Chains A and B, each alone.
Chain A
Amino acid sequence: MGERFDSRIRVFVLRIVVLLIFGTITTRLAYIQLFDGRYDDMARDNFLRYVVTYPSRGEVFDRNGNYLAQNRECYDVMVLRRDLPKDGFDTVRICKAMGIEPAELRKRLRGAPYRREHRITRYPISLEEKLRLDEVGVDGFYTTARTVRQYPRQLGGNLLGSLGAVSNEMIRRNPDLELGDFVGMEGLEASYEEVLRGEKGLVLRDIYAPQGARDSVLKEAVPGKSIHCSIDTRLQQLAEELLRDKVGAVVAIEPATGEILAMASSPTFNPDELVIGRERGNNYMRNLNHPRHPLWNRTVQSGYPPGSTFKLVNGLIGLQEGVLRPHYSYPCHKGYYYGDGHKLGCHEHASPLKLSYAISTSCNAYFCYVFRNILENKRYKNSHEGYAVWRDYVESFGFGNRLGSDVRGERMGRLPTEEFYDKKFKRWNALTLLSVSIGQGDLECTVLQMANLAATIANRGYYYTPHLVRAIDGCDSIDATFRTRHYTKIDTRHFETIVEGMWRAVNVDGTAQGAKLPGLNVCGKTGTSQNSRGEDHSTFISFAPRKEPKIAIAVYVEHGGFGAEAAVPIASLIEEMYLTDTIQRPWLVDYIKSKKIYYPMYDKKRK
């Protein structure tokens, strides 16, 4: 190996090597600095964050400007894992401040991306907790302001509904939503979701600026619009109080506008219990599994037999069809006898009787005659055709269909078709359906529909679709459907006879004399609906005063016995409160509150 080497060549080679090495570095440098544009964006992504700012949700006021739902500030805790202290931090202390379990924090941190802010709290934390968190002051933990609901009156749980976190399914349907958003789940919160929600804003935040985060707003958050609800808090509160420990529903409507003044379903829940937070899940499950179903809005989601209150409709149809005149009188000897010794029973009262007294005393037999006359009218081929005509009339009152109100979850009720009866019976005629004449049988309606009936009669022949919202901030008017009169197929002149009967029922000799309020000319019709599950349902529809009515109301107390026993006092007290602003009969309040109704059908142990 003793060959000589030429050092000049070697020196030259080594210089070339040095230049090659620096050339390689320079080439690479030129590539990443001059030609590869990605790094600019990546650098910007590094320190600029798109931060979503949450709008405050629209608030809900009652008709007198009191808050039904308002916002409470709260905070989401976000973690940017990259900024967390490298040598760890006091997990227990920070968890205590936030009020979460260390195990949960660890689990959530494990799933957190390194360079993107990640929400680590499942529920927003309160201002108090946020301040404690700030005090602990660990790098990498940030808070984002949000709002959750609070319900200062703690009223109207079924009515207002609640907010919940969006599900993946909802996000698929509505691309505006993102995981972690809260949306109305039931009630008003759900039906006016679009109005209340507002629009999220977007901020480009330089989170590392030395003087604290520097924001440039790309899009301002638009707060949700506030809603002015037609509910009268006093009435709502009274209705809920009177219904407490009973199962039933109350709906009060202002007939001249269709605005719902009170809408109580019992049992109900405190809307504050279901506010997003640690307790929501448990409270929700407790309510869901409650044997009496407090989450069920009985004003619109239960189909009840209307009972005797439905006689008003039959009377009106008879009058319109010309088969009934106010002076027609029919006999009643404790019932209506038909066929081979069949009888539809009635209570004891004077006989024969005319229409207004029949309404007042709620005579079953009278309306059996009326119903038969409607269906067996000679003008129609047979009673099937007669039934179709009758059904048409009934439908025009809003029965058998959703009214189209803004109350969430409205049911149709049940107004059977001819096909329904064709299927049910081999042959049928007016006598087969006789129980329909007194609002029993296969008829079902919601309490809202019954209140609507009261409003329709109060208006003498038309109704506005009942609705909960009077005005929305920033909108000129509410939906046009709520400002349209819906006329029934009954002429206005026929209503006065029926109203006379209802007035008489309360003020002279009827079943609803407990509803009498001096000087207010209350009109009403009781109902006692038989049902297969137990004691009769107690129901009452009413409006007052007789001229220019201010309030129409329907009360339904499940298994409350006679209409006069439970429903009448409740309706009367609500009317008194609304019309006179006071309650002169505290003993009646005590009576209702102390009235015990047993519900073995609900309270049975569930298997």
Chain B
Amino acid sequence: MTRSANRRVSLFGGIDSVGMMLYIALTVVGLIAIFSASWDEMSDAPLSLSHNYMKQAMWLIIAWGVGIVVLLLDSSLWHKIAYYLYGAGIGLLLLTLLFGREVNGAKAWFDIGGFRIQPMEFVKIAIALATARVMSEYSFSISRFNDLCKVAAVILVPLAITVLQNDTGSGIVLGSFLFMLYREGLNKWLCIPILFIAALFILSFLISSTALLIALIVVFTLSEGLNDGRWGDCARYIAALFMASLLLFLTLHFLLPDGFNYYYALLITTLASLPLVVWYAYRERLRNIYVSVTIFAASILLLPTSNVLFNALRAHQKNRIMSFLGVASDFNLDYNVNQSKIAIGSGGLFGKGFLQGSQIRYNFVPEKHTDFIFCTIGEEWGFVGALIVLALMASLILRLMYMGDRQRETFGRVYCYCVASILLFHTLVNVGMTIGIVPVMGIPLPLVSYGGSSLVAFTTMIFIAFALDASTNRESPHAYRAG
């Protein structure tokens, strides 16, 4: 008890030192990378605040100050003010929508005293807090439909506003909460369809609709076969389906003056076969076929809507997706990604050395200190350096998950997982786009990318998690609660 009492009076008492060290390491790495990306050897005054690295250093000090303030506050405060913060955040987003400043087509910014701030950076904290609050309410059960709707509303309302702001990129981050929801016991029958629909949406651009339909039929029939082992019936079903559709196609093709599309023939045949399949399932008492049929029907309905959804996107978003999928190429975008790959790819095992990256030096990489900061790391510090940064980030995420798991309160656990989800999504998308495995979205690499508001916001977000964790530790240092 003496030990725990001592910790109570200390500012850093109970703070997870591993997490803290990872945080500090990442911010320092970020500062060095930004220094390298924005160093100008021709400059007369290298310490002038006009340089990005000096600004970032200043912001880092501010961020640490904010972090200390967060640690000084009573951690139970966050639970209390979660809804107020959330309300304020939604208000702020709406204000931005009305009075914000447009940058790169997204009306998601505020100019305050010469600094440009993206409110969504901070509102994310409020959303995480509010989600945690909702899910930690007494009698909340994720398997109850009403409760699930509440969580969904908390997440989807700000997401909708960011879509209106034309800043879908930072809104989609909230989609990463699925990660947290899974941890909290979201039915996997909800997780899988959501991922399945996302995959279908992407696939619908890549392959022709006929091929996609055939693939769907085969996949669903195969899964049936795997479930029930009735391979004979499955084969018969597929054979019958294709024979019938071919017959329909040939008949109509020669009867109709304009010919007929095989896709429609197959679609009609398949839809007509569904009642038969249901009847078969009823007779054979195979209940899981109902699930398959429902999902199948839903995905067929989704296919045409994916085009409608796609057309609702803004031009630059469409371009990014199309360009990433390789369907159409957007020159500038391809160029940026290509340059970023060149910078990282030319880094090799140990990199070109600090301040030695030619691609960074000569401005081939766009946004080299903000969204594409990972290029600086990849080029100058090589595979080893990039791996170290990634390892730090992965460790921080895993540490946050671990901190969440040892929380006593659902509130703290959900919040920690929210933070981990956001960091994971940011890292995946940001690093992924620099190496060409994710479409370009303008979201920063947490703690590393240049940008004051982003740094302060992430610091606050992470330090709240530290504070919640610390309070648990203070109460019972050896407590570990998993679920």
Contact = CB atoms under 8 A, between A and B. Distances in A.
A binds B: yes
A591 B290 CA distance: 118
Contacts of A28: 435-437
Interface string B403-443: 00100000000000000100010011001100111000000
B390 interface: yes
Given A22-B427, A25-B428, 11 more contacts: A3-B143, A6-B483, A11-B482, A14-B179, A18-B401, A22-B394, A25-B431, A28-B436, A33-B386, A43-B342, A43-B343
Nearest to B348: A33
B247 to A, nearest CB: 42
A21 B431 CA distance: 11
A32 B341 contact: yes
Which of A2, A22, A210 has the most chain B CB atoms inside 10 A of its CB?
A: A22
A46 B431 contact: no
Contacts of A46: 339, 342, 358-359, 362, 364
A179 interface: no
A7 B185 contact: yes
A7 B362 contact: no
Nearest to A10: B183
B44 to A, nearest CB: 14
A44 B348 CA distance: 14
Please indicate which of the listed interface residues A10, A40, A114 has the most CB atoms of chain B within 10 Å of its own CB.
A10
A24 B179 CA distance: 18
Interface string A1-43: 1110111101101110111011011101110111010111011
A19 B349 CA distance: 22
Contact of B349 (A17, A34, A44): A34
A114 B335 contact: yes
A42 B185 CA distance: 48
Contacts of B183: 7, 10-11, 14
Given A10-B182, A14-B179, A21 B428 contact: yes
B67 to A, nearest CB: 24
A30 B344 CA distance: 10
B79 interface: no
A47 B185 contact: no
Contacts of B179: 14, 17
Interface string B426-466: 01100110011100000000000000000000000000000
Nearest to A33: B383
B334 to A, nearest CB: 11
Contacts of B387: 26, 29
B270 interface: no
A40 B358 CA distance: 11
A76 to B, nearest CB: 23
A601 B348 CA distance: 79
B364 A14 contact: no
A33 B340 CA distance: 12
A21 B359 contact: no
Contact of B405 (A2, A11, A44): A11
A208 interface: yes
B424 A18 contact: yes
Contacts, number: 123
Interface residues of B, number: 51
Contacts of B100: none
B155 interface: no
Contacts of A26: 387, 390
B435 A2 contact: no
B284 interface: no
Interface in B177-203: 179, 182-183, 185, 187, 189
A20 to B, nearest CB: 11
A36 B348 CA distance: 9
A33 B349 contact: yes
B398 interface: yes
B347 interface: yes
B346 A40 contact: yes
Contacts of B431: 25
Interface string A44-76: 101100000000000000000000000000000
Contacts of A44: 346, 358
Contacts of A3: 143, 187
Contacts of A13: 182
B54 to A, nearest CB: 19
B346 A42 contact: yes
Nearest to B435: A28
Given A8-B483, A26-B390, A38 B345 contact: yes
28 contacts: A1-B187, A11-B483, A14-B401, A18-B398, A18-B401, A19-B394, A21-B428, A22-B390, A22-B391, A25-B390, A25-B427, A25-B435, A28-B435, A28-B436, A28-B437, A32-B345, A34-B349, A34-B383, A39-B344, A40-B345, A40-B346, A42-B342, A43-B343, A43-B345, A46-B358, A46-B359, A47-B359, A208-B361
B143 A7 contact: no
A29 B394 CA distance: 15
A7 B401 contact: no
B307 interface: no
Interface in B314-342: 331, 335, 339, 341-342
B397 interface: yes
A32 B420 CA distance: 27
